[in-house]
Amino acid sequence: MGTFVSPTRRAPNRSQTVDAYIDYQSRPQDISRDTEFSSSQDGLRGVRRAVNVKHRRAARSPHDLDVLSSWTPLPDGEGVEEAEEGGSVGSKRKRYDSSDEPMKTWRPLAGLFLQEFVRRDGPGDFGKVCGTCGTAEEGWRRFRCEDCGPSTHCQECMTVRHELTPLHVLEEWTGNFWTRVSLASLGYVFQIGHGGLSCPRPAPIVRSMVVLDFPHIHEVKYRFCSCDMSDRANNLQQLLRAGWYPASTVDPATCATFKTLDSFRLLNVVGDLTVHDFVRVMEQQTDASGLEEIPERRKGFGRMSRQFAFVQRLKRAGRGHDAGGLDATKPGECSVACWACPQEGINLPEGWEDVEPGYQFLYILIIAMDANFRLRNRLRANAHDDPPLGSGWGHIVEQGRYKKHLRNYVAEKDISTCIAFAALAQKDTRLSTGLRASGMGGVICARHELVRPQGLGDLQKGERYANMDCIVLAALMGVTLLYIAIAYDIVCQYRINFQARMAKLPPDMHLDLARTKILYGLPVWHATAHERSCQSQNSLTFQPGVGRTDGEGTERVWSVFNGLATATKEMNWGAREDGIDDKVDHHNFQKNIRQGDALPRKLVIAIDERDCQVTAFAEVDGTLEESLRNEWQGMVDAWTEDRTKPNPYQLDEGTNGLSEASIRQALAQEELDEAVSSNATLHKSSVTSMLVMGLQLEDHQDRIRRELKGRALLAGDLTERVASLRRSFHVKLKQFRRLQEIYTPGAIEELKAAEERRDSEMPPPAAEDIVLYLPSGLTLENREVIRGLGEKEARLRVGQLHDTVKRLRSRLHAKRHLLNFREEHWVGQRAGTRASTLLAQVGERIEGVATRYRERSWQQPPHTRF
């Protein structure tokens, strides 16, 4: 318990402040402080410590200020760069070639390394006598072990030294070179059950075994144990206790060491290494020349690695401590669950259900779902029935109930209330010829990107609702939270009739919708492909309680699993499921153990961004009148409670004016109505098409002018680009002139008159200088051949100007974003140059759009100008 001692009143000779928040002033002899009392670990001594006291710095002597006082001479050496003269402050640190240019220091020594490599191919200093018994008899056989070291030994000593290590690699000196030999060829028999030591009652039969111990493949002679130590252990148990995993359960002739299987599993889940490549490396390491016959064990190793990984998952899930055995394993029990997602009875405090509404976001489960069509699986005619080792125990939905549900599937006829999506259009028509599975659907926790238990399932066609319903509800089995948020790129359609579809699934997969409220949201990036009204209604950006979760985690997870696609496409369905389950198991484990680093970093970023947003909001809020602020807050509150109310986040597009495309559609509809009433001339190309083509030719001319005035290019590149633009302009101009002959013959007359006035000795005008003679540029009598022609052009130009203003706003926002990003993230000359280049490009586009608006606005008739 701390106490406070007030300062004693003395002379006004005051020292430095001792606390950052309370202005204590003191003398060194009598300091205002808090005193903390505690006991030592053994409880025998009391410890008193002064806290919140900043000790006064000792005065620096002139000797300390001497920049050369700490100099210590060093011996001259290569690779040391002298510090700059003029003092230690601001001087460069010493540079060493050994760390800055390691290859530079190694190159002169390459010959030395080569000589040592060559020396290892001979006996070296150990070839005269046995390193154990000292024998030096004439003609004695010399052996060395790659694993034990370079010393040489006689046959008897070498055999004795390796009684406990039968998988070491031995070599014999022939007089000219080393040749590889096995312990079995020297007559050594390894005793199973005693770790290589002698057995009082060994089995009478000496057996042969091929053992895969990375990086070599060995042939070993061994005996089983028949003494009292092995009365309760059969042959399989003896092999497993020796650390050898058998490839079969009946008279195994092949084993792999646990170390080898564990190494392969890591190489497989981290680097997507296949069984074929791994065993091929071992074969090459055992005999790179291919002259010796090495037993082929790829199929056997594939079975062992699959079984080993499965047993490891069972052990990590605690299944070895259940009295009910493996048969008592529940669906999803062998999966790696997310440590940070809310789980009732595990990481939620008491009374979490009764927390205030403002804190309910702490207990929301946010999931994201999507499909991956790279994880396909071929339908093989000769495939045998090879089910998964634990269907439904891990991260893939149990196949029995999954297939039973799909057999009752009826094609859904959906009418999209948003834009057309490939996921909806191809859900029943996606090409799946020759495929057992066209891909996989997946469900992950969106915050931490771990695959949910039973969160994966095969797809037979596209993203059919029947598949995705079963997968997502299997992934949510046992969840009893009050809120669940679902992020899906077509959630605006998926949410329709979700409750009715859920009723078709088994009751234990149903969500208690009376207790649990489901929030639906579009992933932030995918939301931009939806209609504006759908974005503002469903985007995760506007969903309460999800924070800055983007919902795009499935794409990042798929990028990790895509490396398996090539190997799993050819596998039987059981081996494929077990392989994917093991990959997901490792992925989830790595995500969990890294949350201790990831979450604090995200918290620091969130706090900093929160401060920025609060400051920005306060600036805007300070400019609002109280009545307007209350009105906006009321709109937000009403929409939050009832989503059928007007959405405050949806901007009214009508205030921006009609776009050129919408005006074009309106004019086309008017022409169609006139044609039906027989009041208009029929032609395969309409008046609107002629006007639109004219406006496009004007834009084409502007582009040529911008290229000629733009940033410097190589002369050849600029000439070629401009020439290409001019050629395409003349091709379009011919089509435009043919339409003018039909709808504005007066334009052709003025064109001919202008051509007659042009000096024949002068070259024809360039493409960007050709007069188009649109209706607005014709005389009144030539313009009104068709009623309303000038008015239609004016309407199109108004829409064109609206589009130009929108484009200008977009460019200005992009420039502001680049400026902010440069100030926050880009440091250094290289990054600064890149930022300047990007800003210059955006600036040119802004200037081009602004120039276009100025020029086009003055081409408007007076009653339509802005």
DSSP, collapsed to helix, strand or coil, labels residue 455 as: strand
Local confidence band at 85 (pLDDT 50, 70, 90 cut-offs): very low
Looking at residue 11, its pLDDT comes to 41
Classify burial at 664, counting beta carbons within 10 Å of its beta carbon; exposed 0-12, middle 13-18, buried 19 or more.
buried
Strands 483-488 and 517-521: parallel
pLDDT at 444 over 90: yes
pLDDT of residue 218: 93
Cα dist from 564 to 377, 553, 561, 616, whole Å: 11, 18, 6, 46
Q: For residues 698 and 768, what is the distance between their CA atoms, to the nearest angstrom?
A: 8
End-to-end CA distance of the chain: 76
pLDDT in tens, 558-612: 999 999 998 899 898 899 999 999 999 999 999 999 999 999 999 999 999 899 8
Two tokens, residue 31:
């300091």
Please give the Cα distance from 503 to 396 (Å, whole number): 22
DSSP state at residue 358: G
- Nearest partner of 542 among 599, 482, 485, 496, judged by Cα: 485
* C-alpha torsion 266→270→272→277, nearest 10: -40
What is the SS3 assignment for 531-551? CHHHHHHHEHHHCCCCCCCCC
Residue 10 has pLDDT above 50, yes or no: no
Helix (H) or strand (E) segment spanning residue 247? none
CA dist., res. 314 & res. 390, Å (int): 9
> Is the pLDDT reported for residue 431 higher than 70?
no
3-class DSSP state for residue 206? Answer: coil
Q: Could you read off the pLDDT of 199-255 as tens digits, one per residue?
A: 888 888 999 999 999 999 999 999 998 887 766 678 899 999 999 999 999 889 999
Instruction: Using pLDDT thresholds of 50, 70 and 90, give the confidence band for residue 689.
Output: confident
Decide if pLDDT at 29 tops 90.
no
Contact 736, 772 (CB under 8 A): yes
Q: Is the pLDDT of residue 350 over 50?
A: yes
Question: Has residue 626 got a pLDDT over 80?
Answer: yes
* pLDDT over 50 at 184, yes or no: yes
* Mean of pLDDT values over 851-860: 74
Which residues share a beta bridge with 257? 244
Could you give the CA distance from residue 839 to residue 820 in angstroms, rounded to a whole number? 12
Burial of 508 (0-12, 13-18, 19+ CB in 10 A): exposed
* pLDDT for residue 255: 96
Q: How far is CA 582 from the centre of its chain?
A: 19
Of residues 27 and 752, the one with the higher pLDDT is 752
Give the C-alpha separation, 473 to 494, whole Å: 14
Grouping H, G, I as helix, E, B as strand and the rest as coil, residue 446 is: coil
Mean pLDDT of 57-79: 49
Q: What are phi and psi of 377, to 5 degrees?
A: -145, 125
**How does 22-44 read in b/e, with b if 16+ C-beta sit within 10 Å?**
eebebeeeebbbeeeeeeeeeee
Give the per-residue pLDDT at 45.
Answer: 61
| Range picked from 28-32, 399-403, 784-788 for highest mean pLDDT | 399-403
CA distance 71 to 84: 14
- Are residues 590 and 399 in contact, defined by beta-carbon separation less than 8 angstroms? no
- Report CA dihedral (25, 30, 35, 40) to the nearest 10 degrees: 140
- pLDDT confidence of residue 256: 96
Of residues 848 and 196, more confidence is placed in 848
- Residue 134, pLDDT score: 81
369 membership: H or E segment, kind and range: strand 364-372
What is the per-residue pLDDT for 3?
Answer: 40
Q: Can you give the pLDDT at residue 799?
A: 85
**Does the pLDDT value for residue 796 go beyond 70?**
yes
Q: What digits encode the pLDDT tens for the residues 700-711?
A: 888 888 878 765
pLDDT for the residue numbered 866: 35
Q: CA nearest 585: which of 304, 394, 372, 391?
A: 394
pLDDT(394) > 60? yes
How many Cα atoms occupy the beta-carbon half-sphere of 231 within 13 Å?
Answer: 3
pLDDT on residue 741: 85
Q: Would you state the structure tokens that stand for residue 287, as one six-digit string?
A: 């005999």
Confidence of residue 38 (pLDDT cuts 50, 70, 90): low
| Residue 653 confidence (pLDDT) | 55
pLDDT value at 860 more than 60: no
Most confident of 91-100, 444-453, 848-857: 444-453
- Of 359 and 742, the structure prediction assigns the larger pLDDT to 359
Specify whether the CB–CB gap between 864 and 776 falls below 8 A.
no
The whole-number pLDDT of residue 40 equals: 58
For residue range 501-554, what is the model confidence (pLDDT) as tens digits?
Answer: 999 999 999 999 999 999 999 999 988 888 888 888 889 988 888 988 999 999
Nearest to 162 by CA among 174, 150, 147: 147
Select from 220, 139, 148, 150 the least CA-distant residue to 185: 220
User: Would you mind telling me the total number of residues written for the chain in this entry?
Assistant: 866
Following DSSP, what letter does each residue of 488-541 receive, concatenated? ETTHHHHTTTHHHHHTTS-GGG---TTTPEEEEEB-HHHHTTS-HHHHHHHBGG
What does the pLDDT read at residue 4?
38
Q: Which residues contact 63 (CB under 8 A, 6 or more apart)?
A: 69
Q: Which of 283-287, 307-311, 733-737, 860-864 has the highest mean pLDDT?
A: 307-311
pLDDT, averaged across the chain: 82
Question: How much is the pLDDT for 560?
Answer: 94
Per-residue pLDDT, 756 = 84
For position 428, what pLDDT does the model report? 55
Residue 799, CB-side half-sphere exposure with 13 Å CA sphere: 19
Residue 52 clears pLDDT 70, i.e. is over it: no
Q: Where are the domains of the chain?
A: 1-52, 122-186, 190-316, 361-593, 602-651, 660-857
pLDDT over threshold 60, residue 82: no
Q: What digits encode the pLDDT tens for the residues 364-391?
A: 999 999 999 999 999 887 778 889 999 9
- Token representation of residue 691: 């006007």
- Report long-range pairs for 76-82 (Cβ below 8 Å, ≥24 apart): 79/105
Q: Which of 708, 844, 711, 852 is nearest to 766 (CA)?
A: 708
74: phi then psi, degrees, rounded to nearest 5: -120, 150
- Flag whether the pTM goes above 0.85: no
Range scoring the smallest mean pLDDT among 111-120, 549-558, 821-830 = 821-830
Among residues 270, 267, 228, 272, the alpha carbon closest in space to that of 282 is found at 267
Listed in sequence order, the residues at least 6 apart from 24 whose beta carbon sits closer than 8 Å to its beta carbon are 7, 17, 18, 31, 32, 33
Please indicate whether residue 289 or residue 422 has the higher confidence score (pLDDT): 289
